[in-house]
Chain A
Amino acid sequence: MSVKIENLFHIYNPGSPFETKALDDINLEIKAGEFVGLIGHTGSGKSTLTQHLNGLLKPSKGKIYINGEDITSKDIKLRDIRKKVGLVFQYPEHQLFEETVYKDIAFGPINLGLSEDEIAARIREAMDLVKLPFEELKDRSPFELSGGQKRRVAIAGVLAMKPEVLILDEPTAGLDPRGRDEILEQIKSLHQKVQNTVILVSHSMEDIARLVDRIIVMHKGKIALTGTSREVFKEVETLESIGLGIPQITYLMKMLKENNIQLREDILTIEEAKEEIMKWLRGRKNA
């Protein structure tokens, strides 16, 4: 399922002293099955952009096409769009409301009008995807769970709707490093399994760099940079000027190179760096 955005503008509170231009002429294309990272500072417009993609916000100007269908036109059924585009909000555990985990995850599928058997199957599947033990947790109250488990119940609630485009807004905010790695890993493996289109919103380069096919950097409502992780990280100056950095390990490799140690500098993960440095050390020994 592809996403195409043309000349998108969004202005909050037009005509009042609080008027702010949140999106400023956004043009963007995301191919079906692509895993995209959307990165930017607080207030850069990334959350506003994602809310446009399933019709929660209406653009002030511009068009959005999901699979070639214009979702900004008046006679579009928003329910159909929301079936295709799933959005996991920031701190999604704040939206939990049902008595049991099972019922909470069932909320979305019920709204889609699915049969009971289908719903039951989807809940089991969704809980499996986020590694929640179905039998153990299905009858528990979501409010008794730990923070990380609540987050996963909420994410499962969206996954159970089987969206073809999955958008996650800072899914790891406020989690400990282990919870963060687990959630990112689960998103990655889901993507590999079903080849859905995933848009991962974050402000952490470290999180995004090693997961996504392509990075989109937003700044002040505009798209500042776009390209693969390696391409984007070459623009260190631009990134720093808008207050974003590159992963620490990439910095280290750059510094090594500046000190005349001949290494590749487009390194994204510690594993890659380790290999590269080992290679270099071996090369020196042999020389």
Chain B
Amino acid sequence: MLKDITIGQYYPTGSYIHQLDPRAKILATFAYIVGLFIVDNFFTYGLLALFVLACIHISKIPIKYMLKGLKPLRVIIIITFIINIFMTSGETLFSIGPLNVTIEGLYQGTFMALRLMFLVVGTSMLTLTTSPIILTDGIENLLKPFKKIGVPAHELAMMMTIALRFIPTLLEETDKIMKAQMARGADFESGNIINRAKSLVPLLVPLFISAFRRADELAMAMEARCYRGDTNRTRMKQMIMTGRDYKALSIMTLLMAMLVYIRVSF
């Protein structure tokens, strides 16, 4: 159940993309998301699809594994598609009762569904190829200029690191407690909504207790090692942008320029 979620998971293969500087990857992902909203016809979607496929190929992540990340979102994608088909006005293709299916709606629906899929695949590319710690380091670094206007960059990054660090731990803990309660005859899967919500109590109470305990212990351990925030902190691994990072960013810029050009001129 829980193991199907691939968003936010790291998939180490040591590929070219894995070795890129996290800042380059974050910026490229941002550009990619903006690009998704510039795209408005099938030709440019094709271009984007080629780009995504190329990235997947270079990253050496099995395409099956990437697509598995779409599975939990299939309901949202299908609903989006259906709503768009029926809710867009235009030339009627055929009607089901009071609902009209329009050609424009079909286009719109396909675009929206594609956009969602590209969004998920593209952004999971970032998390699959970057370990969470490196990712938050990158975010902290990118947020540094905003410190002057009072953005607590380091604190935010530290919070994210800790949150990410504890996702697998908490999942494991959930799994363990669930099994322990199931061994005592608990049933998490059948019954109506109220019964199911009630059946979560034996799971959530121990989970919260252990989360608070962990938080306490972590705070203590950090203080014992004299952690006091950002001031005068140095890093063991400095992030340095190298040739290949600039190359990757150039390719991304080129792609964006093409997308904008096509959007503006056709």
Say yes or no: A95 contacts B206, CB within 8 Å. Answer: yes
Q: A13-B3, A94-B206 are in contact. Are A158 and B187 (CB under 8 A)?
A: no
Tell me whether A140 is interfacial, beta carbon within 8 Å. Answer: no
Q: A16-B65, A89-B176 are in contact. Are A97 and B205 (CB under 8 A)?
A: yes
- Chain A's nearest CB lies how many Å from the CB of B186? 6
Q: How far is the CA of A142 from the CA of B78 in the complex (A)?
A: 47
Interface segment, one of B98-106, B118-126, B177-185, B244-252: B177-185
- Chain A's nearest CB lies how many Å from the CB of B127? 15
Closest to B176 in A: A89
- Chain A's nearest CB lies how many Å from the CB of B20? 20
- Chain A's nearest CB lies how many Å from the CB of B191? 12
Tell me whether A37 is interfacial, beta carbon within 8 Å. Answer: no
Say yes or no: B183 contacts A79, CB within 8 Å. Answer: no
Q: How far is the CA of A161 from the CA of B185 in the complex (A)?
A: 9
Find the residue from A17, A83, A143 having the highest chain B CB count within 10 A. Answer: A17
Interface size grouping (class) on chain B: 20 to 34
Tell me whether A54 is interfacial, beta carbon within 8 Å. Answer: yes
Q: A95-B180, A97-B205 are in contact. Are A108 and B3 (CB under 8 A)?
A: no
Tell me whether B46 is interfacial, beta carbon within 8 Å. Answer: no
**Interface on chain B toward A: helix, strand, loop, or mixed SS?**
helix
Tell me whether B169 is interfacial, beta carbon within 8 Å. Answer: no
Q: How far is the CA of A95 from the CA of B12 in the complex (A)?
A: 34
Within 8 A of A (CB), among B8-24: 11-13
Tell me whether B90 is interfacial, beta carbon within 8 Å. Answer: no
Tell me whether B89 is interfacial, beta carbon within 8 Å. Answer: no
Q: A56-B182, A82-B183 are in contact. Are A107 and B202 (CB under 8 A)?
A: yes
Which residues of B are found within 8 Å of A56, using beta-carbon distances? 179, 182-183
Closest to B213 in A: A94
Say yes or no: B179 contacts A89, CB within 8 Å. Answer: yes
Q: How far is the CA of A174 from the CA of B184 in the complex (A)?
A: 23
Tell me whether A86 is interfacial, beta carbon within 8 Å. Answer: yes
Say yes or no: B184 contacts A158, CB within 8 Å. Answer: yes
- With an 8 Å Cβ cutoff, the count of chain A residues facing the other chain is 26
Tell me whether B210 is interfacial, beta carbon within 8 Å. Answer: yes
Within 8 A of B (CB), among A138-174: 143, 157-158, 161
Say yes or no: A161 contacts B3, CB within 8 Å. Answer: no
Which residues of A are found within 8 Å of B64, using beta-carbon distances? 15
B186 in complex: contacting residue of A83, A107, A158, CB < 8 Å: A107
Q: A13-B3, A96-B206, A97-B202 are in contact. Are A111 and B183 (CB under 8 A)?
A: no
Q: How far is the CA of A54 from the CA of B181 in the complex (A)?
A: 12
Which residues of B are found within 8 Å of A13, using beta-carbon distances? 3
Within 8 A of B (CB), among A58-92: 79, 82-83, 86-87, 89, 92
Q: How far is the CA of A167 from the CA of B88 in the complex (A)?
A: 61
Closest to A89 in B: B180
Closest to B65 in A: A16
B: residues with CB less than 8 A from A are 3, 11-13, 64-65, 173, 176-177, 179-187, 201-202, 205-206, 209-210
* 10 A-B contact pairs sorted by A residue (CB < 8 Å): A17-B12, A17-B13, A82-B184, A83-B185, A89-B176, A94-B173, A94-B209, A94-B210, A143-B209, A158-B183
A: residues with CB less than 8 A from B are 13, 15-17, 51, 54, 56, 79, 82-83, 86-87, 89, 92, 94-97, 107-108, 111-112, 143, 157-158, 161
